[in-house]
Amino acid sequence: MTRKLFGTDGVRGTANTWPMTADMALKIGAAAGRYFRNDGSNGHRVVIGKDTRLSGYMFENALTAGLTSTGMNVLLLGPVPTPAVGMLTTSMRADVGIMISASHNPHHDNGIKFFGPDGFKLSDEAEAEIEALVEAEIEPAQAVNIGRATRIDDGRFRYAERLKSTFPSGMSLAGLKVVVDCANGAAYRVAPEVLWEMGAEVIPVGTTPNGLNINDNCGSTSTQTAAEAVVTHGADVGICLDGDADRVMIIDENGHVADGDQLMALIAGRWAEWGKLRGGTLVATVMSNLGLERFLTDKGLRLERTAVGDRYVVEAMRKGDWNLGGEQSGHIVMTDYGTTGDGLLAGLQVLATMVETGQPASALVQQFETVPQVLKNVRYAAGKTPLEDASVKAAIAEAEAQLAATGRVLIRKSGTEPLIRVMAESTDDGLMTQVVDDIVAAVEAVA
C-alpha cells in the first residue's frame, strides 16, 4: 500500500502547511482512534507527548479532538522526550503513544510519530492502514462513548527514575562537571534534573524554550555553543541532545565532538567485553562510517547495516535478537533499556564508562579513525524526481566506478525533507570531493 502522509518517521512537515495542519491532525487522530479502538469499548488509552514548538499546542488539541471523537481516552504528558513516550505507552498500558515533534528540525516544522502498545514505533503496514482510514469516512463514537482527556503531571518523573535505574548500582556522578545542551527542546527540564540528582555538577545550555528557539544554534546539530561551554567552564564532558532528545552528540573535555558512530563503537566494545553484546552484532545504517565497520571487525564483532532511519535499525534488532544499534546522527538504541533512540540514556552510558575506568572523555569517545566522508544535500522542487533522471544515474554510476577501490558512494532521498543526500567515503580526499561535486551538479541541473 502506497503511503502519502507517512514518511520514514511518522508524518512531518511545515506547521500550517499540508500535511501538518490542524485539520489533518484531527483526521489522523480520528483514524488512529478508529484503528486502535477496534472492539468498540471505552477502555482504550493513548498517551501524547510533545516537544517545545509553538505549534505543539495546536497539534496536541487537534489530535485529542480526533482521538476522543472516536472513543479513545487521552493521557496528555506535556513536554517530554520521545523515548519517554515509548516507555510510558507500555507502563501506562496504552494502546498507542504519540509524540508531537520534528526532532532536530527548526521550530516551524512539526511531526506526529506513533508508538504501538509494546513501545516500539508502528510498522509501515500499520501506518499504511491508518493512512487509509484518514482517506475514508471515519465513523465517530456515539455521544455516550466519547473519550476523556486527562493531564498527567508525573510523566517526566517516571522517565527520570527509569533512566537512573540503568546506571550501575552504587555508582554516582559526584566529581564530574557536565555541560548538557537540551536544544531548548523536550528534555529542557528532565536532563539537567537527572544529571544533578545523580551527583554531577551541571552546566545547562539550551534550557529556556520559547516555542521558537528549539534547535536554534544549540543541540546535537549545532554543537559549538556547548563545546565553548565545556572549555570555558573546564567541564569533563558535554552531552548535546536534539529537540526531542532521541539523539546525542558527546563533547570531550577539549571541546571535540564525537558522533553516534564513535559512541556505538565505545558501547559495543564495552558490552562485548562484558559478554553483554547479544550476537556480537551492532546494527547501524548504510550511513555509518567504514571506520566503524573496520573497528568492529578487528574486535571479532560484526556490523549489520540497514536503510536510514532508526525505525529500520530497531526492526533489524528485533528480528535478529540484537540489543544495540543506532545511527551516525546520534540515535542510539539499547533495547535492554528502551524501545527507541534515547540521547540521555546513551550519554549516561558514556558517563558510566568514565566513572568506571577513570579515563577522560577524550580517551573514550574517539574509538577509531574515521574514513574521510563528505555529505552534501541538494534541495529539489515539489514534483521533481531527480534520482530517476538518466544524467543523474550516469553521474552516480561513474562515481561508483571511480571510488570502487578506495571507498563508496551512497545517494538517497531524505524521508523527512525534499532533499537528495549525496555521501561518499574514500581514503582519497581529492577524488571523493570531486565525485560528490559531480553528482551534486547533476542533481542540481534537474532539481
Domains of the chain, by residue range, sit at 11-153, 170-370, 373-446
Decide if 11-153 and 373-446 have a common fold: no
Look up residue 409 and give its amino acid.
Answer: V
CATH of range 11-153; options 3.30.70.2190, 3.40.120.10, 3.50.50.60, 3.30.360.10: 3.40.120.10
Q: Which is nearest to 114 in space by CA: 215, 125, 40, 331?
A: 125
Task: Let me know how many helices (H) and strands (E) the chain has, helices first.
Answer: 14, 18
| Cα separation, 333 vs 124, whole angstroms | 19
Class of CATH domain 170-370: alpha beta
Quick check: helix, strand or coil at residue 386?
helix
Alpha-carbon gap, residue 82 to 190, rounded angstroms:
12
Q: CA-CA distances (angstroms) from residue 318 to 264, 276, 333, 381?
A: 18, 16, 11, 37
Dihedrals φ, ψ of 226, to 5°?
A: -70, -40
Q: Is 103 one of the catalytic residues?
A: yes
Q: Which of 101, 103, 329, 426 is catalytic?
A: 103
Phi, psi of 152, deg, nearest 5: -105, 115
Which H or E run includes 84? helix 82-91
Contact (Cβ atoms closer than 8 angstroms) between residue 96 and residue 30: no
Helices (H), 214-287: 224-233, 260-273
285 SS3 class: strand
Tens place of pLDDT per residue across the chain (447 aa): 556 899 878 999 999 999 999 999 999 999 999 999 988 888 899 999 999 999 999 999 999 999 999 999 999 999 999 999 999 999 999 999 999 999 999 999 999 999 999 999 998 899 999 999 999 989 999 999 999 999 999 999 999 999 999 999 999 999 999 999 999 999 999 999 999 999 999 999 999 999 999 999 999 999 999 999 999 999 999 999 999 999 999 999 999 999 999 999 999 999 999 999 999 999 999 999 999 999 999 999 999 999 988 889 999 999 999 999 999 999 999 999 999 999 999 999 999 999 999 999 999 999 999 999 899 999 999 889 999 999 999 999 999 999 988 889 999 998 778 999 999 999 999 999 999 999 999 999 999
Please tell me the CATH superfamily of domain 373-446, with its number: Alpha-D-phosphohexomutase, C-terminal domain (3.30.310.50)
Sign of CA dihedral 283, 286, 289, 290: positive
CA atoms within 13 A on the CB side of 261: 21
Q: How far apart are CA 166 and CA 193, in angstroms?
A: 16
CB 409 within 8 A of CB 374: no
